[in-house]
Amino acid sequence: MPSSPAPRAIQATFDDLGTALHDVTFVVVDLETTGGSAQTDEITEIGAVKVRAGEQLGEFQTLVNPGLPIPAFISVLTGITDRMVASAPRIDTVLPAFLEFARDAVLVAHNAPFDVTFLRTNAQRLGLPWPGHQVVDTAHLARQLVTRDEAPNHKLSSLARLFGAATTPDHRALHDARATVDVLHALLGRVGNLGVHTLEELGSYSARVTTAQRRKRFLADGLPSAPGVYVFKDAEQRPLYVGTSVDIRRRVRTYFTSSEQRTRMAEMVGIAESVTPIVCATALEAQVRELRLIAEHKPRYNRRSRHPERSVWVKLTVEPFPRLSIVKEVRGDGAHYVGPFSGRQQAEQAVAAVHEVVPLRQCTQRLSPTKRVSACALAEMGRCGAPCTGGQTVEEYDAVVLRASAALCGDAEPFVRSLEGRMAHLAEQERYEDAGALRDRLLALVRGAARAQHLAPLAASPEIVAARRAESGGWEMVCVRYGRLAGSALSPRGTDPMATVESLAVSAEVVAAPTGPAPAALPEETEKILRWLETPGVRLVHLEGAWTCPVNGAGRSRDRLEPLVRAREQVSGFDEPHGRLLSRPPKAVRSGV
């Protein structure tokens, strides 16, 4: 019987190895829009750069007539006005040209889901087939490759500075696309050093699990599969990190897998020697316990809620000629308080916003209706009625105080509209830096005033008992006293929930009445409670007090303005939810495909 032929060695082809990154054509794109929703907002500018093997092959840039007015808020942020786009082509002309420019290329963008969603949505509206480009998100890639020691965040501006980009991003589409090209090349260099050389490898790349992470997997053993709080501790039992989960054991296990890609968490796991679980009756209780533990221990790997003591309030003083003052605590002196603000800078911006419209005095000395002093420069400029010189009586000055009080504690709409009008006027004059500064002041004011108006009713209520159906059946119960979570319980399925309510009311923490409008808890705790109370399905079982807010209060203006800001933060790759808003003047307008 003849022998079988020896098996042949099969050499892998280059196709089997994948597409080398230096052979891939990338089209780096950036959009400017009228807002953050691809369903209701429109594109106002497209900028793109085509590159391969580090060489630029072409550029695409055009303004786009959105067919609707550009909000003044957006004009301040981008520098793009209705006048600039009036003669620009519409999207039905621009998008086919862009798709042809990007044909057979890999799309790249910073926070790519935002840009790609707008492009795909408009293609669907126009009946154009979406090519199904492979997409690379430089923001996602940077989160895996750039540590906090190198850059404070993963915004495009921060990465451009880190990598020495030739173009500074400034919220104009082509400039931002050029900056993203330099960021992309720097990031590809880093993954190349990690052994990623093909497009297929880049698509599947994720941060590697460190040896320290793998070695600590045993810390999850024995933890309860229940909702609550978990605390990572070091060898001396000092808290390193506090978190919450609906399943403590399952959540802690993820810290030892590739699903955990935060660099600082990998470092924390390497130091941790134990994990302490705290099982809670409800998810709200877990969130509140997390806040309190972070505030108490200030774990170094928690970024948020570590320094509630830095909060400040804006106070409208009680004296013959009141003024605005920034203070660290609320006192029972009958004054109006607004806040708390997360820091002094935000409070100063809010005060400056009030002074933009209301001519309150800004001097710090205590004035007397009978004693005269010399006037300051503000009085000479007409920014103050000069009560110090007798230019205003107490009664006349009271009318000014009432306007400030309304803006802070009541109907804020007239005040906000006045500031918006000034901001729009500055934008029309192309004074974008001034308009941006005014925008920051306005937002600081409405955020602080809305926060105070929202917290005050709960902080003044001696007791609130509420319930919500639990996912597993039965009812989640909470007892809130003066804005503080005094207790929570779970009423099992098939039992009388009122018996649990009565037991909860008796066993809940006794809370002393605070000095309003401050709650008897950390403001962030009271806000978490409010969000829980306002979720669908929550039922008020007992309310002792009143739960009201001004009809035209600052919350209405905040809810109208903040979505526009968030849209720009997403486009900019803005990581921190409460960071400072950017104010930049527009660069020279570039138009045409």
Give the mean pLDDT of 65-94: 91
When pLDDT is cut at 50, 70 and 90, the band that residue 537 belongs to is confident
List, for residues 185-234, the tens digit of each pLDDT value.
999 998 888 777 888 777 766 555 555 666 787 888 889 988 899 999 99
- Least confident range from 118-122, 161-165, 328-332: namely 328-332
Task: Please tell me the total number of residues recorded for the chain in this structure.
Answer: 593
Q: Which stretch of DSSP H or E encloses residue 228?
A: strand 228-233
Closest by CA position to 284, among listed 97, 470, 110: 470
Give the mean pLDDT of 470-496: 86
Give the C-alpha separation, 116 to 543, whole Å: 48
When pLDDT is cut at 50, 70 and 90, the band that residue 138 belongs to is very high
Give the C-alpha separation, 393 to 338, whole Å: 26
When pLDDT is cut at 50, 70 and 90, the band that residue 390 belongs to is low
Check residue 559 and give its pLDDT: 67
Beta carbons of 435 and 343 less than 8 angstroms apart: no
The percentage of residues in the chain with a pLDDT greater than 70, rounded to a whole number, is 83
Q: Measured in whole angstroms, how far is the alpha carbon of residue 278 from the centre of its chain?
A: 28
- Whole-number average pLDDT of the chain: 81
pLDDT at 589 over 80: no
Give the mean pLDDT of 405-433: 78
- Tell which wins on pLDDT, 410 or 591: 410
pLDDT at 555 over 70: no
Check residue 56 and give its pLDDT: 94
Positions annotated as catalytic residues are 171
pLDDT at 428 over 50: yes
Residues forming a β-bridge with 465: 479, 542
Give the mean pLDDT of 239-249: 91
Give the mean pLDDT of 67-80: 88
Check residue 164 and give its pLDDT: 94
- Tell which wins on pLDDT, 183 or 385: 183
Give the C-alpha separation, 306 to 303, whole Å: 7
Check residue 396 and give its pLDDT: 79
Task: State the pTM of this model.
Answer: 0.55
Angle at 510 between CA 509 and CA 515, to 5 degrees: 120
Give the C-alpha separation, 58 to 77, whole Å: 27
Check residue 513 and give its pLDDT: 86
> Which of 246-260, 478-492, 514-528, 557-571 holds the top average pLDDT?
478-492
